[in-house]
Amino acid sequence: MTAGRLPSLLLFTSLVALVAAFGAQFEPGAWYSQLQKPDWNPPNWVFGPVWTLLYIGIAAAGWLVWRETRRVQPVLQLWGLQLIANGVWSWLFFGLHEPGVALVDIAVLFCLIVSFIIVSRRYSVAASWLFVPYAIWVGFAAALNASIWSAN
């Protein structure tokens, strides 16, 4: 990797880390533990490692597209919007205790992820594929969010 590429990789990594740190402020806590959850709800320890891997992929995907475009294109706007929606979900669900509103946010997030997958393919097939596990996980999380919202 050339020295010229390192600052942009650090920028994308830093943006993702900021969103991860923002979301981490809103821990599940007692409120979440008292909610009715489906039998297929994963144990809490699963979420940290999964999100760590996904965040690495999110940063890499944004960076790969940037390397090809070198300017803010609609595809990078999608990347930024999904990152914002990602961070907002934790605040809505765990911070405000609003699973119904969080469900709307995660539906928007899912649409943004799928849009990025489709649009980014033009610039980087690898970036597009890096978002596929993210889409699968967010789809699962949306179903979990919906189940918790309807049960409570």
- Can you give the pLDDT at residue 119? 97
Does 5 have pLDDT greater than 90?
A: no
pLDDT, tens digit, 9 for 90 and up, residues 22-64: 999 999 999 999 999 999 999 999 999 999 999 999 999 999 9
Asked whether the predicted pLDDT for residue 98 surpasses 70, the reply is yes
For range 4-9, the mean pLDDT: 78
3-state secondary structure of 91: helix
Judged against a pLDDT cut of 60, whether residue 3 lies above it is answered with: no
CA nearest neighbour of 151 among 101, 91, 100: 100
Percent of the chain scored above 70 by pLDDT? 97
Compute the mean pLDDT over every residue in the chain, rounded to the nearest whole number: 95
Per-residue pLDDT, averaged over 80-90, amounts to 98
Q: Determine contact, residues 108/84, Cβ cutoff 8 Å.
A: no
pLDDT of residue 134 exceeding 80, the answer is yes
User: Using one digit for the tens of pLDDT, what is the confidence trace for 64-75?
Assistant: 999 998 877 899
Residue 71's pLDDT is what? 76
Domains along the sequence of the chain with CATH = 6-38+45-151 (1.20.1260.100)
pTM for this model (two decimals):
0.94
How much of the chain, in percent, has pLDDT values that exceed 90? 90
Alpha helices in the chain (DSSP H): 6-24, 29-33, 47-69, 74-90, 99-120, 125-130, 132-151
**pLDDT of amino acid 4:** 58
